[in-house]
Amino acid sequence: MIGESSALLSKTVDELVRAHRSRIILNFRDVSAIDSAGVGALLAAYALIKHSKGQLKLLNPPQKVRDVLKLTQLSKVFEVYADEESALRSFAEV
């Protein structure tokens, strides 16, 4: 994620939150890695969603993304799921 990808994530999350859709799952299926701009965009999205009393969950992050989350200790912040059904079910548990 650099530039346009980070901006697209921010814009999309902002639009969803404005539409009162603050239970969000980000699917990383087609993402191979994440850079510092991507981490910043994730944190900004998390803050916006959290401020709106919502939740952000990550789905299918590849090992490289998991490694970055662990290195930055964001693995303690984000809930990560391997399948969509579990991620969706986790919203009902709250």
The residue behind tokens 């930055």 is 72
Q: Tell me the DSSP string of 15-77.
A: HHHHTT--EEEEE-TT-----HHHHHHHHHHHHHHHHTT-EEEEES--HHHHHHHHHTTGGGT
Mean pLDDT of the 17-43 span? 92
Domain boundaries defined on the chain: 4-92
- Supply the CATH classification number for the domain 4-92: 3.30.750.24
33 has which bridge partners?
none
Record the pTM: 0.88
Q: How high does pLDDT run on average in the chain?
A: 91
39 HSE (CA, 13 A, CB side): 17
Q: Give the pLDDT band of residue 94 (cuts 50, 70, 90).
A: low
Is residue 55 within 8 Å of residue 23, measured between CB atoms? yes
Q: What is the pLDDT of residues 35-55, one digit of tens each?
A: 888 899 999 999 999 999 999
Q: Give the pLDDT band of residue 92 (cuts 50, 70, 90).
A: confident
